[in-house]
Amino acid sequence: MLNLPRWQTIVIAGITLLSALFALPNLLPASVLQHLPQWYATSRINLGLDLRGGAHFLLEADLRSVLTERLTNLSDAVRAELRKQQVPFRDVAVEAGKNLVVTLRDEANRSKALEAIRAVDPALALSGSGDTIRVAYSEQELAKRKKEVIDQSIEILRRRVDETGTLEPTITRQGDERILLQVPGIKDTGDLKRKINQTAKLTFHLVNEDLAATGQNIPQTVPPTTFLVPTREGMLELRRTNPKAWEDIQAANPRLSPEQICRRYQPQCLPVLKRVVVGGEDLDDSKATFEQQQGGRPIISFTFNSAGGRAFCNATRNNIGKRLAIQLDGEIISAPVVQSAICGGSGIITGSFTTQQTQEQSLLLRSGALPATLTIIQESTVGADLGADAIQAGTVAALVGTLLVAIFMFVAYGPVFGGFANLAMLVNLLMVFAGMSILGASLTLPGIAGLVLTAGLAVDANVLIYERVREEKALGRSPFSALATGYEKAMSAIIDANLTTLIAGLLLFGFGSGPIRGFATTLTLGIITSMFSSTIFTRMLLSVWVRWRRPTELVI
């Protein structure tokens, strides 16, 4: 048992060194790290928000009202189609969050009515009997729509929260209808909440083509009906060429108007009419898609609600050939030329776009409105100094805890065996760090508690082995035989003990969230790695030691 083949010794030593290598970036100071390759230096454990400070919001999307809204639109379409097909009906009612109920005047028309409804959308699920028809979306369609709503909300949140690109928010979906938003290091959460709530202001304006035709970027005077608005490209250009100006604009309080920005910093601007043709609140949807003919160029499609559609129809009919500027939060994101009257509520924007551009533009168009109401159902904010306090407490507790355990083992089992156990504890901690770095897991305050607990639990395996060795020694076995039997006989209890704790750790990981998951992570990882460090690793140390010292008596 103690006669390890050389290759095993090498493999065990190799695993240990590899762990140390992966754990190392977490322990080195920044001054050393900057000289190392980036992929290596950045593979470090993230600190959880409870240590780092920051905000955590769990948001729930109100998908029920999204569905109700969609059913309301569908009911209009169904009504129109039934009229068109001349199917007399009594009522088309929306059952909130569920389905439509169509009541026919005459049962005899049922098959004709079903056909008409299928014509609206062939994927609809139809049921009911007699003069009532229940119309619902299929499960797949609902699931797809849910996913769309959440994905779109995540994109919009990302844009709203991280306007300045400095916050590094983590935004992830949680289950079917929730979004987890984590923003490390943020000080003012009131401001963050306002950003979540604040909607980008999207408006459509006609370009003052007479003024634009003069060719001046910033005309000296503009008529009172017109104002100057910087273009998005212009602002991006300004940010690149004159970062100072860009920062000043961001920091200005009160915020500068688009016209002020144009006059003061002279980015590329467009003169547009102040009158709003249609507002973003009337824009239902916008998608990046491809043209049907002409080689399928990437285009952007958009849909207005009925009010928006009417206003848009009037404006485009009277202004063919002119440009229509789309203003988002004081920047013109695009100014396509009106090719024809766009009536019927939906239209497309063509141009020499790449797919990436159409995706970005359609996202910008949508960013006016969140597709569903988001409610904060859980919130946690940790100030930076509270986090610093937690780090301080956690570090002291971890150092004192492991030190106490180490002293204890030294006293109880002497410098050699105590030393091996303590070395194993150290290797165990390194392996946990390495594992967390590889998994990209976050270290939280309960996670530190898990580490301390792991340190205490990991040496238990050595205690079991050493106590057994003492017994075997007392029975008069030779040192070599006592050690070998000690390992062998202690094994089943070590495995039982570790596995039951592992069960608890895994279930806790499955159930817990946030900081508690951090505890489950370190505990679970620690127990798994301790099976290596406390048994396999110490056995290797002992086999090398026995061969080297050839002890005639064990001092244990």
Partner 1 sequence: MWKPVRLFNFKKKFDFLAQRRAALIISTLINVVSIVGVFTLGLNFGIDFKGGIAIQAKAKDGTAELDQLRNIVGNLGVGEVSLQEFGDPSTVLIRVQRQEGDNQCVAGAQRVMQKTAGQGWQVKPGAAGTGDVEFTSPTALDSVNWRDAVSRAGLTLQERQLPRGSTNTATIDMSVEQRAEWCQQVAIKLVEDAIGSNYELRGTESVGPKIGDELMRGGIYAVIATMFAIAIYVWVRFEWQFAVGALIAMLHDVISTIGIFVLFQLDFSLTALAAVLTIAGYSINDTVVIFDRVRENMRRYKKMPLIDLLNHSVNETLSRTLMTSATVFVAVAALVLFGGPVLHSFSIAMLWGVIVGAYSSVWVACAGLVYLGLRADQLRPVEDKADKGGDTEKAEA
H or E, element range at 391 = helix 384-413
Report residue 169: phi and psi, to 5°. Answer: -75, 150
Q: Which of 45, 270, 369, 434 is in the footprint of partner 1 by CB under 8 A?
A: 369
| Residue 480 touching partner 1 (CB under 8 A) | no
- Nearest CA to 155 out of 131, 132, 179 is that of 179
Least Cβ distance, residue 518 to partner 1 (angstroms)? 10
Q: Report 185-214 residues binding partner 1 (CB under 8 A).
A: 189-190, 193-194, 196-199, 201
Angstrom distance (rounded) from CA 67 to CA 373: 12
What is the x/- site pattern for partner 1, positions 431-450, by CB under 8 A? --------------xx--x-
Stretch that binds partner 1, among 76-84, 204-212, 334-342, 409-417 (CB under 8 A): 409-417
Stretch that binds partner 1, among 229-237, 337-345, 428-436, 497-505 (CB under 8 A): 497-505
Q: Please report, as a single letter, which amino acid is at residue 50.
A: D
Assign 176 to helix, strand or coil: coil
Least Cβ distance, residue 78 to partner 1 (angstroms)? 20
Q: Which of 401, 478, 528, 536 is in the footprint of partner 1 by CB under 8 A?
A: 401
Q: Report 258-297 residues binding partner 1 (CB under 8 A).
A: 279, 281
| Residue 109 touching partner 1 (CB under 8 A) | no
Stretch that binds partner 1, among 111-119, 205-213, 426-434, 455-463 (CB under 8 A): 455-463
Angstrom distance (rounded) from CA 195 to CA 46: 25
Least Cβ distance, residue 525 to partner 1 (angstroms)? 14
| Residue 330 touching partner 1 (CB under 8 A) | no
Angstrom distance (rounded) from CA 93 to CA 223: 50
What 142-146 contacts at long range (C-beta under 8 Å, 24+ apart), as own/partner pairs, is 142/67, 145/66, 145/67, 145/70, 146/63, 146/176, 146/177
Dihedral in degrees, nearest 10, Cα atoms 498, 503, 506, 511: -150
| Residue 511 touching partner 1 (CB under 8 A) | yes
Collect all residues with Cβ–Cβ distance below 8 Å to 539 and sequence separation of at least 6.
1, 2, 4, 487
Angstrom distance (rounded) from CA 455 to CA 406: 9
Least Cβ distance, residue 377 to partner 1 (angstroms)? 4
Angstrom distance (rounded) from CA 122 to CA 110: 16
Stretch that binds partner 1, among 98-106, 117-125, 380-388, 433-441 (CB under 8 A): 380-388
Nearer to partner 1, 181 or 299 (CB): 181
Nearer to partner 1, 77 or 398 (CB): 398
Q: Which of 28, 236, 341, 463 is in the footprint of partner 1 by CB under 8 A?
A: 463
Is the C-alpha dihedral spanning 266, 271, 274, 278 positive or negative? negative
Nearer to partner 1, 118 or 477 (CB): 477
| Residue 69 touching partner 1 (CB under 8 A) | yes
| Residue 551 touching partner 1 (CB under 8 A) | no
- Nearest CA to 259 out of 332, 364, 368 is that of 332
Tokens of 103: 């009541």
